């Protein structure tokens, strides 16, 4: 009985550990992380525009707690954040430079955690970090532009 249960478990693990299930899971993870930052980026632009940073965003980045980020002038941080929250999610969805994009979003998350919203680690930022780390470690999977490009190099 125990041996049959163990064999069934091993078969199930083999199925979900295959290349296609892993690639589908990584695609979902890419889309999930991209969605978080894309939606945030869209709140920072003028309604009806693609990338015009709104006056309210510039004001927000000049006020507490957003102006506590060291080394970056507030207006520059507002533009940089807005553009990154648009470009990096697009790269993630396509799976282009997945590891680099996830690393950049991890960096953004840590800046937000440390300087802007230090009380938001659990459960929000810890989940963003976990998802970004999965992509940094595993990459975009076979259903990504990265896989097409690395396939040509090999």
Q: Where are the domains of the chain?
A: 27-153
Contact (CB, 8 A) for 44 and 85: yes
Instruction: Give the other-Cβ count within 10 Å of 152's Cβ.
Output: 7
Q: Which residues are within 8 A (CB) of 24 and not within 5 positions of it... i.e. 6 or more apart? A: 141, 143
pTM summary value: 0.92
- Rounded-to-integer distance, Cα 29 and Cα 23, Å: 10
**121 neighbors 113 (Cβ within 8 angstroms):** yes
Higher per-residue confidence, 151 vs 89: 89
Indicate if the pLDDT at residue 154 is higher than 80.
no
124 neighbors 109 (Cβ within 8 angstroms): no
Rounded distance between C-alpha atoms, residue 130 and residue 13, angstroms: 22
- What is the arithmetic mean of pLDDT over 70-76? 93
Where residue 151 falls among pLDDT bands split at 50, 70, 90?
A: confident
The overall average pLDDT reported for the chain is 95
- Give the chain's end-to-end CA distance (angstroms, integer): 45
Query: 141 in the Ramachandran plot: left (φ > 0), alpha (ψ -120 to 50) or beta?
Result: left
Query: What percent of the chain is modeled with pLDDT above 90?
Result: 92
Residues 6+ apart with CB under 8 A from 40: 85
């Amino acid at each position: 009985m125990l041996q049959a249960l163990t064999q069934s478990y091993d078969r199930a693990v083999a199925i979900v550990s295959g290349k296609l299930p892993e690639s589908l899971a990584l695609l979902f993870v890419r889309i999930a992380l991209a969605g978080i930052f894309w939606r945030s980026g869209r709140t920072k632009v003028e309604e009806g525009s693609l990338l015009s940073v709104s006056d309210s965003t510039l004001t927000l980045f000049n006020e507490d707690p957003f102006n506590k980020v060291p080394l970056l002038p507030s207006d520059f941080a507002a533009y940089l954040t807005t553009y990154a929250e648009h470009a990096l999610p697009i790269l993630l969805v396509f799976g282009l430079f997945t590891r680099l994009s996830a690393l950049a979003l991890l960096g953004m998350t840590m800046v937000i955690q440390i300087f802007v919203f230090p009380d938001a680690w659990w459960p929000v930022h810890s989940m963003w970090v976990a998802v970004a780390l999965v992509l940094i470690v595993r990459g975009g999977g076979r259903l990504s532009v990265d896989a097409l490009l690395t396939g040509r190099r090999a």
